[in-house]
Amino acid sequence: MELNKRYRRLRSSSVVRNMVAETSLTADNFIVPLFLVEGTNKREEIPSMPGYFRFSLDLLKAEIIELKKLGLRSVLLFVKVPDNLKDNEGKEALNSQGLMQRAVRFIKEIDPEMLVMTDVALDPYSSYGHDGIVSGQEIVNDASVEVLAAMSLSHAQAGADFVAPSDMMDGRVKAIRAKLDGAGFTKTGILSYSAKYASCFYGPFRDALDSAPGFGDKKTYQMDFRNSTEALKETLLDIEEGADIVMVKPAGAYLDVIRRVKDNVQVPVAAYQVSGEYAMIKAAAANGWLDEKQAIIESLTAIRRAGADVIASYFAKDYAKAIQDSKFKI
C-alpha cells in the first residue's frame, strides 16, 4: 500500500510511545484521603473498601511516613465520629480538641511540610447524616453555612493548609473565605468541591464513616447527574467567591465534566476518584476479572487526561508504588 501517513510508527516501541505520550501523572498530583477514628491501636479495614483502612492517631504516624517515602505530599482528612457526639448542629465539628483538629496538629508535628486538607461538611457529625442542619425535612442553607465557616476556622486554627467544603450549600465558599480572612487566616486555602454530584458511588465512603443519610437523599444540595452546564455555573461561582482549587466529583463517570470545567477556568482543577470507583476496581480484580494494577493506572491517567491537575484517590499509594517500580511499564 502507498500510504504517506502511517500512524503506527509512533506506537512501535515503548520508547517512542513514552516520548510522545500526551499525559503524565506523578505522585505530586495526588491527594490521599485518610479516614480517622478515635481510640488507640486501630487499623480497621473498611469492608466495602478492601485494602483501605481507618486509623487511630497513634497508628497514623507510620502511614504518614510511608506517604512521604512514596512522594505523596498531600492528605485529605475525614473523621468517624462516635454516635454520642453527633447532633443536629455539628457542635463536635467546632471542638478544638476534636479528632479532626487533633489529627491536623499531629500530622503537622510528624511532617510539617505535608499539605493537610480537611473535609468540611456536617455529615459525619450529624445525627441525621446530612451535610447541613436539618429542620423538619429540609437541609437549611444559611444556618448550615454559618457552622461550616466556623468549622473551617477551627481547622485553620489547628493548622490545616486547605479546607475542603464538600457540602454543596449555597454561598459557603464566600462565607468561609470571609471567616478565615476576618481571623487573619489569609494563607489558608479553599479547595471547593464545586461540582459534586448526588452519586451512588459514595456508598462505601458512607460505610467507612457511618455517615449515610438517616432520611431522604442528598439531591436537594448535591448536583443532578444529568447536568453539566450546572457544573460550570457552580464552579465559576465558587471561583468568584474565593475558591483556590475547584473539584469535580466523582471522576470516572464525569470525565466530560472535568474537561468542560478545565477548559473554562483559570484555577487548578481537582477530581475525586471516589469510594465506589475504588470498590468497583477492587471487586473486579478480586474476582480475577480485571488486572488491578492496569485498571488503577488506566483509570487515573484517564482522569488526568480529561483535565484534572490534581486527583484525590484511594489508589494514590498503589499508583505511586507502581511508578517507582522500574519493572512497571504502561
94/110 with CB nearer ligand PBG: 94
d(CA 288, CA 26): 27
Verify binding: residue 202, ligand PBG, rule CB under 6 A: yes
Verify binding: residue 123, ligand PBG, rule CB under 6 A: yes
Verify binding: residue 119, ligand PBG, rule CB under 6 A: yes
Q: Residues binding ligand PBG: what is the number (CB under 6 A)?
A: 12
Verify binding: residue 234, ligand PBG, rule CB under 6 A: no
Query: In this chain, which stretch among 60-68, 107-115, 119-127, 322-330 interacts with ligand PBG, using CB under 6 A?
Result: 119-127
110/255 with CB nearer ligand PBG: 255
DSSP, collapsed to helix, strand or coil, labels residue 78 as strand
Verify binding: residue 194, ligand PBG, rule CB under 6 A: no
Verify binding: residue 205, ligand PBG, rule CB under 6 A: yes
Cell triple for 107: 500530622
106/202 with CB nearer ligand PBG: 202
217/263 with CB nearer ligand PBG: 217
CA nearest to 162, candidates 268, 249, 64? 268
Q: Which of 86, 218, 249, 282 is catalytic?
A: 249
The DSSP output letter for 197 is B
Measured CA distances, 233 to 220, 257, 291 (Å) = 16, 12, 38
Query: In this chain, which stretch among 65-73, 134-142, 173-181, 199-207 interacts with ligand PBG, using CB under 6 A?
Result: 199-207
For helices 229-241 and 172-182, give the axis angle rounded to 10 degrees: 20
Q: Which of 86, 174, 179, 196 is catalytic?
A: 196
- Beta bridge mates, 232: none
Residue 317 annotated among the catalytic residues of the structure: no
Among 63, 92, 131, 161, binds ligand PBG (CB under 6 A): 131
Cβ–Cβ < 8 Å for 156, 133: no
205/319 with CB nearer ligand PBG: 205
Verify binding: residue 166, ligand PBG, rule CB under 6 A: yes
User: How far, rounded to the nearest angstrom, does the alpha carbon of residue 12 sit from its chain's CA centroid?
Assistant: 37
Verify binding: residue 92, ligand PBG, rule CB under 6 A: no
Cell triple for 269: 482543577
Residue 61 annotated among the catalytic residues of the structure: no
Among 46, 156, 274, 306, binds ligand PBG (CB under 6 A): 274
Concatenate the DSSP letters of all residues of 107-156 into one string. Answer: HHHH-TTSEEEEEE-SGGGBTT--SSEEETTEEEHHHHHHHHHHHHHHHH
Tell the burial category of 86 from Cβ atoms under 10 Å away from its Cβ (0-12, 13-18, 19+). Answer: buried
- Which active-site residues does the annotation give? 196, 249
Q: Which residues bind ligand PBG (CB under 6 A)?
A: 119, 121, 123, 131, 166-167, 202, 205-206, 218, 274-275
